[in-house]
Amino acid sequence: MKRKPEDMEIVWQTPANPPEHHDYIRRDGIRYVKPYYFEFISHAKNRWAGKTIVDLFSDEFKGRPPEYYVSAVKDGRIQVDGQKVPISHVVRSSQKISHFLHRHEPPVMAWDVEILHEEKDVVTVCKPASIPVHPCGQYRKNTIVGILEAEHGLAPLFPVHRLDRLVSGLLILARNASRADLFRQEIESGKVQKQYIARVIGVFPENELVMNANVHYNAREGRSTVEVGDDYGNDENLLKGKAACTKFTRISTNGTHSIVLCEPVTGRTHQIRVHLQYTGHPIANDMLYLSESVVNRSSEGLAADRAASRSVGSLMLDCYETSNEKSGGDSCEDFSIDPMCTNCPNLAPKGYDGHEEGLFLHCVRYTGEGWSYDCPPPDWADLT
């Protein structure tokens, strides 16, 4: 029998609550986070002013039906300036809006986060693909920083550089803010050499290839494009995007794929991925840059990579989702079902199946003045 919301004992979490080992559930190669209650806070934007609290949520946050927001306001799960309000409440600019939510984090692959090197001020790890580095979007505990705190007691940690969620390899984390600042100063001044390896389509040119081409990131579509000047006198200074340079060197090839050493001189969003696409040798499993058109990702609020994989491999994903639905009923043994939650009884939120193939892109080395850290190559780098 479902419990009424008013009968439930709810314990709210804040960012001050550290991730703990028992927060995670591993199942069928996937790492889930037990759903938990969390307060999301925002301050009313000018365009929100004049709307009723229910209309505001219905217009701005379309992931849930309007009737959910009506119930949430009546139940006090949506509050304004720390107070319950009627559904007719009209929002004013800058008011504090709280949404107390049963939070379901997206799942990630259940690979361990291997610690490569540990010293007083620095920890380096081999980041698995599919796991974001730090809390962002819907991810909080299912992150490298969260997992290291929960499973190894390593906190606080300050990521020195960033790896995209689907990229694997070396990740450097400082153990204090001052050491992190020193690393970042070196990186920003161009004194750090970065090396990645990628598995690309086709036979990559044998000689070193230096790609100098502006990279323009479209935040709305979650994807970058390359922009270069032409032979007709068009001024390169009028191009969108930012100057970007990547050096590429072929390591090996089997005639179908090539392993390429990638050395980004600059650090633009998706720089290596889009520069490889521009050479005619995209990363072999990079659905976002293998597809010819930008995928519509707005309907379900999916990230661009996930939307691209979904459109290319929809049949496979349907199979995964069917499997998840079958196992979803069993997941309630691991956590309490919330009768108002639009994601219960499944562990994962809607639209997230958890079966994601990591990109064939891996960080192998960072070298600075007097230091160098390495990460072993992945299995896909062996073409034999």
pLDDT top residue among 59 and 7: 59
Backbone angles phi, psi at 44, to 5 degrees: -60, 125
CA dist 37 and 100 (Å) reads: 7
Residue 224 has a pLDDT of: 94
Mean pLDDT to the nearest integer, 13-39: 90
Residue 267 has a pLDDT of: 92
Question: Over 90: is that where the pLDDT of 199 sits?
Answer: yes
Question: In the Cβ-directed half-sphere of 11, how many Cα atoms lie within 13 Å?
Answer: 4
Residue 321 has a pLDDT of: 39
Mean pLDDT to the nearest integer, 51-56: 96
Residue 227 has a pLDDT of: 87
Question: Over 50: is that where the pLDDT of 84 sits?
Answer: yes
- Which residues are known catalytic residues? 164
Q: Domains of the chain by range and CATH?
A: 190-285+357-381 (3.30.2350.10)
H helices present in 175-313, as ranges: 177-188, 271-279, 287-290, 304-312
Residue 301 has a pLDDT of: 53
DSSP 147-165: HHHHHH---S-EESS---T
Question: Over 90: is that where the pLDDT of 121 sits?
Answer: yes
294-347: pLDDT as tens digits:
555 544 456 777 777 665 544 333 333 333 443 444 455 678 899 999 899 999
% of the chain surpassing 90 pLDDT: 72
Burial class (CB in 10 A: 0-12, 13-18, 19+), 288: buried
For residue 383, which of 286, 284, 289, 291 has the smallest C-alpha distance?
A: 284
Residue 8 has a pLDDT of: 54
Mean pLDDT to the nearest integer, 214-221: 92
Mean pLDDT to the nearest integer, 175-189: 95
Summary mean pLDDT of the chain: 87
DSSP 17-28: S---GGGEEEET
Backbone angles phi, psi at 65, to 5 degrees: -75, 155
pLDDT top residue among 32 and 333: 32
CA dist 90 and 87 (Å) reads: 9
Residue 2 has a pLDDT of: 43
Query: Amino acid identity, residue 228?
Result: V
Q: Which residues pair with 78 in a beta bridge?
A: 99
Residue 70 has a pLDDT of: 97
For residues 131 and 114, the answer to whether their CB atoms sit within 8 Å is: no
Question: Over 70: is that where the pLDDT of 48 sits?
Answer: yes
pTM: 0.85
Q: How confident is the model at residue 159 (pLDDT cuts 50, 70, 90)?
A: very high
Residue 236 has a pLDDT of: 56
Mean pLDDT to the nearest integer, 103-127: 96
98-111: pLDDT as tens digits:
999 999 999 999 99
Question: Over 50: is that where the pLDDT of 208 sits?
Answer: yes
Mean pLDDT to the nearest integer, 71-86: 95
Instruction: Report the range of poorest mean pLDDT among 88-97, 318-327, 344-353.
Output: 318-327
Residue 73: how many CB atoms within 10 A of its CB?
23
* Residue showing tokens 């940690």: 157
